[in-house]
Amino acid sequence: MAEITRVLFLCTGNSCRSQMAEGFLRELGGDRFEVHSAGTEIAEHVHPLAVKAMAEEGIDISGQEPKTLDRFEDTQFDLLVTVCDSAKQSCPMFLGADREVHWSLEDPAEATGTEEERMAFFRDIRDEIRRRVEHLVRTGEALNDDGEPVRV
């Protein structure tokens, strides 16, 4: 029986980047991963444009909800992935993770302009998250922003 890798994606509000990463790993990783996401603060809901961007990829995250990090304070993870600089600074050491990596991804919730311009930004971030999650699933390694692999 294969060992399950427990992963936590962490960002500030848990409304966009970490939710998309959770959705991708849940879909692409199958039963090899137990995946969660959380925020150092909590948003009211998953951002509607994140839901829409993921739906374009055939992944439904509309049932996911923002969660705070304290929900997982007694949980041990194999890998913690911070997906924004603010979360990395707010939580420089999460004692419940064996390994940590950081993905410095801009916050699509802060995009301005028309809805289509904002969607384009969400798609760019979504596609970068997908690329990184696919690498993790394919190789068992999470890449830091500097390209250094962390074996999980």
Of the candidates 38, 81, 83, 84, the residue annotated as catalytic is: 84
The pair of three-digit structure tokens given for residue 75, joined into one six-digit string: 């949980």
State percent of the chain over pLDDT 70: 91
| Of 137 and 98, more confident | 137
Q: Is the pLDDT confidence value at 94 over 70? A: no
Closest alpha carbon to 66 in 85, 51, 56, 86: 51
Mean pLDDT (the chain, rounded) = 91
Catalytic residue among 25, 59, 69, 91: 91
Q: Which of 8, 10, 11, 80 is catalytic?
A: 11
What the block records as the tokens of 31 is 């039963």
**pLDDT one-digit tens code per residue, 8-28:** 999 988 999 999 999 999 999
Q: Is 11 a catalytic residue?
A: yes
The DSSP element (H or E) to which 60 belongs, if any, is: none
Helix 48-55 / helix 115-139 crossing angle, nearest 10 deg:
60
Instruction: Give pTM, 2 decimals.
Output: 0.92
91 is an active site residue: yes
- Distance (Å, whole) CA 114 – CA 121: 11
Residue 89 has pLDDT above 70, yes or no: no
How high is the pLDDT of residue 84?
81
> What confidence score (pLDDT) does residue 20 get?
98
Instruction: Give the domains, in start order, of the chain with CATH numbers.
Output: 5-151 (3.40.50.2300)
Residue 26: the pLDDT is 97
Is residue 6 scored above 70 in pLDDT?
A: yes
List alpha helices for 14-114, DSSP H: 17-29, 48-55, 85-90
Query: What does DSSP assign to residue 4?
Result: P
Where do runs of H (alpha helix) occur along the chain? 17-29, 48-55, 85-90, 115-139
